[in-house]
Amino acid sequence: MSKASEWDRINNEGGEGFNPYRHTNDEFEPQPRTIETVRREWLAISPYDEAPAMVAKRNALRAELDAMEAEADAAFDAEWTVEVTVARRAEWNEWVMSHNGSPTPHQVEDQCRVQGFGLDDLRRAVKRHGL
């Protein structure tokens, strides 16, 4: 009896649930690295670990994180120009005033979906352009 069959018979009661002997590494594709995953890796390395390999790894991750953040900021700036920010802010303020100045969180979430941008992005753009 193979390991996979034995595992299924004992642990999965004959079913085809999780089986560590059945999966190969080819089935799992590596996920693209995001800013959050790089930041998590960078924060996982202790700043007090002075081993040369760890210092080099921490510095490399910090450089990668800085490059990714710069790329994300450039994309944000390309989309949120001053003119776009002013227009979207006026649209947002008009919508808020149509709800007597105090929409519910559910209405805000729905409106963000309708307009295609979030309130956090709008606030960030307003702060960035000093409006």
At 61-111, the pLDDT tens digits run 999 999 999 999 899 889 889 999 999 899 888 888 888 878 888 888 888
Q: Residues 107-118: pLDDT tens digits?
A: 888 888 888 888
Check whether residue 23 and residue 41 sit in a common domain.
no
Q: Tell me the Cα Rg of the chain.
A: 25
Instruction: Determine what percent of the chain is predicted with pLDDT higher than 70.
Output: 77
Q: Is the same domain home to 87 and 125?
A: yes
Tell me, what amino acid is at 25?
N
Can you read off the two tokens belonging to residue 12? 């999965």
Q: Which helix (H) or strand (E) holds 88?
A: helix 82-98
Residues 93 and 113 in one domain: yes
Verify that 47 and 86 share a domain, yes or no. Answer: no
For the chain, the domain total comes to 3
Task: Provide the residue range defining the domain that includes 121.
Answer: 82-129
| pLDDT digit string, tens, across residues 46-57 | 888 788 888 888
Identify whether the C-beta of residue 99 lies closer than 8 Å to the C-beta of residue 72. Answer: no
Residues 26 and 45 in one domain: no
Which pLDDT tens digit goes with each residue over 16-39?
A: 665 555 555 555 666 778 888 888
Spatial separation of the C-alpha atoms in residues 21 and 9, rounded to whole Å: 13
